[in-house]
Chain A
Amino acid sequence: MSNTFLIIIFSAILVDNFVLSKFMGICSFLGVSKNLKTAMGMSGAVVCVMLVASAITWPIQHFLLNPLKLGYLQTLVFILVIAALVQMIEMIMKKSMPPLHKALGIYLPLITTNCAVLGVTILNINSNYTFMESMVNALGAGIGFTLSLFLFSGVRSRIDKADVPEALRGLPITLISASLVAVSFLGFKGLVENLFGG
């Protein structure tokens, strides 16, 4: 049992990293990785929203959509629920946790339609995860997002200091280096199965 959780969480963080292997959430990945502080703020918000969104969408799928045979409404309903959810989280946070709201606040609205969040909820359903497995997967996906942002903000601060050929300055070199970081994550393929004997 605990082995399954370990496999899920490490797969989500390293092997199937949402940004670098599945290429989800690239927009925010490139947008906020300019420096470490904003990167960590965004990651914190993503982890929060992924966890809560998974916790809400799993019951919706299994207790509302599946019995009524409305599986095709999945994307629509999930987007609606996630967007509303993030709005509510933001309001609640503003009132009860002002410091946290200050740290995450401006990033929360940005991720209402982040495809990584929608992706993790749909993948939970498609992989036939139980509720607990879904939560673990969401946590892993969030940590994976954090990890890739953390690594890439370091890479970008180095790019800023480097003498880049003029034609590649700005977005081109950022995309090239992002792809190189993604290639390095290919090295994790097969790691989890061998470690935990899945």
Chain B
Amino acid sequence: MPQSLVDILIPTGIMLGIALLLGILIVIVSRVFAVEKNETKEKILEALPGANCGGCGFAGCEGYADYLTKPGANTALCAVGGVDCAREIASILGTEAAIPEKKVAVPRCQGTCEQTSKRYVYLGTSSCHAASGLLGGPNSCTFGCLGFGDCVAACAFGAITIKDGICKIDRALCHGCGQCVKVCPKKLIELMPITATVAVRCQNEWPGARTRKNCSIGCIGCQKCVRSCPQGAISMRESLAVIDQSKCIHCDACVNGCPTHAIAFLRGEPKKQDNHSESLAQEK
């Protein structure tokens, strides 16, 4: 055999040998160290939305799937997947489905830059938590939205934007996981049933005159809504109106009577329901 051919064959043979050896080794290792997968868990994991938002209280969808494989688990914890997801999980597990109530996050503040003023110029770290630590933030109303967007960063679905100095939540994108509720230092985002049509978009508990001075759209505690509500669903906390959504019959009397427009429609216009709540209403 000519020398040049040997020079080619030896390295080729060695490469082949190494590759073959490694291939065999990988197969052996994968057999020996095979991990038995939990089939139910895999199926549940597929049924879950995979958003890993943590809204259920577990570390991501995998944590929730782990929990669901245990007997007696609550199938209604996934706010993102909603009704369909709960049903699917229940059919995989062969249990009765617990249907979650679809919720959306609602910011209880409408105090934009126009409605409120600034008490001081804040130049610190661009974070609501940091700003609220400095005398409750630069805003004239210390209950209101600071607008540095801690909630924007927490939202896994891109549903929150900051506009005119306050947060806006897109109801079509919100999955009701509640991550923004947790991070807001002012505790002004609330999870409300998606069927709710009106809300007090303010959480200022100051007396009326002081509220008026600091924000033109805050609740001044005039109690007009309390009197106008036919169901008695509205009560006062200090000088702030609070609506009990379970008693609300969507008559809109409170919105029409509110002199400062602190009580507002959640969907912009009355009686106009978005697709999701319609389908939910049909199911109910």
Contact = CB atoms under 8 A, between A and B. Distances in A.
Leading 5 A-B pairs by shortest Cβ distance = A95-B33, A84-B22, A88-B29, A91-B33, A91-B29
A182 interface: no
Interface string A91-112: 1101110000000000000000
- At the interface, is chain B mostly helix, strand, loop or mixed? helix
A76 B16 CA distance: 12
Interface in A52-109: 64, 68, 70, 73, 76-77, 80-81, 84, 87-88, 91-92, 94-96
Contacts of B26: 84, 87-88, 91
Contacts of A64: 14
Interface in B1-60: 10-11, 14-15, 18-19, 22-23, 25-26, 29-30, 33-35
Contacts of B29: 88, 91-92
Contacts of A96: 33
Interface size, B (range): 10 to 19
B95 interface: no
Given A84-B22, A161-B125, A70 B11 contact: yes
B22 A68 contact: no
Given A91-B30, A92-B33, A94-B33, A81 B22 contact: yes
Contacts of A94: 33, 35
Q: Which residue, A68, A88, A94, has most C-beta atoms of chain B within 10 A?
A: A88
B126 interface: yes
Interface of A: 64, 68, 70, 73, 76-77, 80-81, 84, 87-88, 91-92, 94-96, 161
Interface in B163-188: none
Nearest to A93: B33
If over half of A's interface residues share one DSSP class (helix, strand or loop), that class is named, otherwise mixed; here it is: helix
B35 A95 contact: yes
15 contacts: A68-B10, A76-B15, A77-B15, A80-B15, A81-B18, A81-B22, A84-B23, A84-B25, A84-B26, A91-B29, A91-B33, A92-B29, A94-B33, A94-B35, A161-B127
Contacts of B14: 64, 68, 70, 73
Given A77-B18, A92-B29, 11 more contacts: A64-B14, A68-B14, A73-B11, A80-B15, A80-B18, A80-B19, A91-B26, A91-B30, A94-B35, A95-B35, A96-B33
A182 to B, nearest CB: 27
B62 to A, nearest CB: 10
B194 to A, nearest CB: 34
Contacts of A81: 18, 22
A55 to B, nearest CB: 15
Nearest to A73: B11
A95 B26 CA distance: 14
Contacts of B22: 80-81, 84
Interface string B105-134: 000000000000000000001110000000
A87 B25 CA distance: 10
A81 B35 CA distance: 24
Nearest to A87: B26
Contacts of A95: 33-35
B153 to A, nearest CB: 10
Contacts of A88: 25-26, 29
